[in-house]
């Protein structure tokens, strides 16, 4: 099969799978690189630099994601960052290519953006149009988390595909981990939406056991 959009480049920070704390089911999660929003207290400061991470052709990333979903029998794709709406064309192409590669199996897509829903729809209409669910709004460390999807209560959830609402609501109502640990290429990642102080508590706990972290993503 010939795939279009081969020229689009995407800057990514990492891909991890399976992830169970960023949306329902077992998912593959893509962290894009580059964010100019700069929320105080962001847990992913390492994804801010637009020149950091890796630049890869969007179709190569799509192939890798499709393969992970197929081989791992995963339930969905989560796109987070960094700021996904800052790479609108490459990500719109990526989502359509992942779906094309896995057709006729449907792929459910969740996007986290630090912009409001309206601003995200203006900045990245093609990406927003293809997402089933969008969690939108900047992280505010002065506000409490709300449920399993909102790191701060100002953020919003929009179900663009009404079919997924019940599925997401059941997952949010269920008891479950908020954070999980993943290891990839010599780095340890704490995945999920940490509550205030969780990250420093994690680092301090490791330090007490004699493990000093060389660098952490939530501090510059
Ligand atoms: S929380 Fe998200 S939107 Fe805010 S600075 Fe961090 S990566 Fe950017």
Q: Rounded distance, CA 109 to CA 60, Å? A: 18
| Ligand 1 geometric centre to CA of 19 (Å) | 19
For a mutational test of ligand 1's pocket, the pick from 12, 33, 39, 80, i.e. the residue with the most ligand atoms closer than 8 A to its C-beta, is: 39
For the CA of 38, the closest atom of ligand 1 is 5
Confirm whether 1 is domain-assigned: no
| Ligand 1 geometric centre to CA of 40 (Å) | 8
Using alpha carbons, select from 76, 90, 162, 164 the residue that is nearest to residue 124. 90
Residues near 1 by beta carbon (within 8 Å), at least 6 away in sequence: 100, 101
For the CA of 115, the closest atom of ligand 1 is 3
Confirm whether 220 is domain-assigned: no
| Ligand 1 geometric centre to CA of 103 (Å) | 32
For the CA of 47, the closest atom of ligand 1 is 7
pLDDT by residue, tens only, the chain of 220 residues: 445 555 899 999 999 999 999 999 999 999 999 999 999 999 899 999 999 999 999 999 999 999 999 999 999 999 999 999 999 999 999 999 999 999 999 999 999 999 999 999 999 999 999 999 999 999 999 999 998 999 999 999 999 988 999 999 999 998 877 778 787 777 777 788 866 666 677 767 767 777 666 666 656 5
| Ligand 1 geometric centre to CA of 148 (Å) | 17
| Ligand 1 geometric centre to CA of 99 (Å) | 27
Number of domains within the chain: 1
Give all strands of the β-sheet with 156-159 in edge-to-edge order: 54-57, 9-19, 27-32, 76-80, 108-113, 133-136, 156-159
Residues near 171 by beta carbon (within 8 Å), at least 6 away in sequence: 23, 24, 25, 148
Q: Please state the separation of Cα 22 from the chain's center in Å.
A: 7
Q: Tell me how far CA of residue 55 lies from CA of 5, 30, 34, 119, in angstroms.
A: 15, 13, 11, 25
Confirm whether 15 is domain-assigned: yes
Confirm whether 214 is domain-assigned: no
Q: Rounded distance, CA 117 to CA 150, Å? A: 14
Using alpha carbons, select from 58, 42, 24, 199 the residue that is nearest to residue 114. 42
Q: Which long-range contacts (CB under 8 A, 24 or more apart) does 120-128 make?
A: 120/85, 123/85, 123/86, 123/88, 124/84, 124/85, 124/88, 124/91, 124/92, 125/88, 126/88, 126/89, 126/92, 127/79, 127/84, 127/85, 127/88, 127/91, 127/92, 127/95, 128/85, 128/160
pTM of the predicted model as reported, rounded to 2 decimal places: 0.89
Confirm whether 123 is domain-assigned: yes
Confirm whether 217 is domain-assigned: no
Confirm whether 165 is domain-assigned: yes
Asked if residue 62 lies in contact with residue 15, where contact means CB atoms within 8 angstroms, the answer is no
Confirm whether 25 is domain-assigned: yes
Which CATH number goes with the domain that contains 148? Answer: 3.20.20
Asked if residue 28 lies in contact with residue 65, where contact means CB atoms within 8 angstroms, the answer is yes
Q: What is the pLDDT of residue 187?
A: 76
For a mutational test of ligand 1's pocket, the pick from 83, 137, 154, 220, i.e. the residue with the most ligand atoms closer than 8 A to its C-beta, is: 83
Range(s) of the domain holding residue 128: 9-208
Q: What is the pLDDT of residue 2?
A: 44
| Ligand 1 geometric centre to CA of 112 (Å) | 9
Nearest residue CA, atom 1 of ligand 1? 42
Using alpha carbons, select from 137, 176, 202 the residue that is nearest to residue 22. 176
């Amino acid at each position: 099969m010939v795939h279009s959009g081969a020229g689009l480049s995407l800057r990514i920070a990492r891909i991890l799978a399976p992830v169970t704390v960023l949306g329902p089911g077992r998912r593959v999660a893509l962290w894009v690189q580059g964010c100019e929003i700069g929320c105080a207290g962001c847990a992913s400061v390492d994804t801010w630099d637009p020149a950091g991470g890796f630049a890869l052709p969007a179709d190569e990333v799509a192939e890798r994601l499709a393969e992970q979903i197929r081989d791992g029998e995963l339930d969905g794709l989560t796109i987070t960052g960094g700021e996904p709406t800052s790479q609108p064309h490459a990500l719109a192409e990526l989502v359509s290519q992942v779906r094309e590669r896995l057709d006729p199996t449907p792929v459910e897509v969740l996007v986290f953006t630090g912009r409001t829903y309206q601003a995200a729809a203006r900045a990245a209409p093609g990406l927003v149009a293809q997402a089933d669910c969008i969690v939108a709004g900047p992280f505010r460390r002065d506000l409490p988390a709300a449920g399993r999807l909102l790191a701060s209560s100002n953020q919003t959830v929009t179900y663009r595909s009404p079919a997924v609402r019940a599925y997401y609501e059941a997952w949010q109502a269920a008891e479950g981990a908020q954070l999980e640990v993943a290891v990839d290429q010599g780095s340890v990642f704490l995945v999920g939406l940490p509550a205030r102080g969780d990250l420093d508590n994690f680092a301090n706990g490791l330090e007490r056991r004699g493990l000093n972290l060389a660098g952490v993503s939530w501090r510059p």
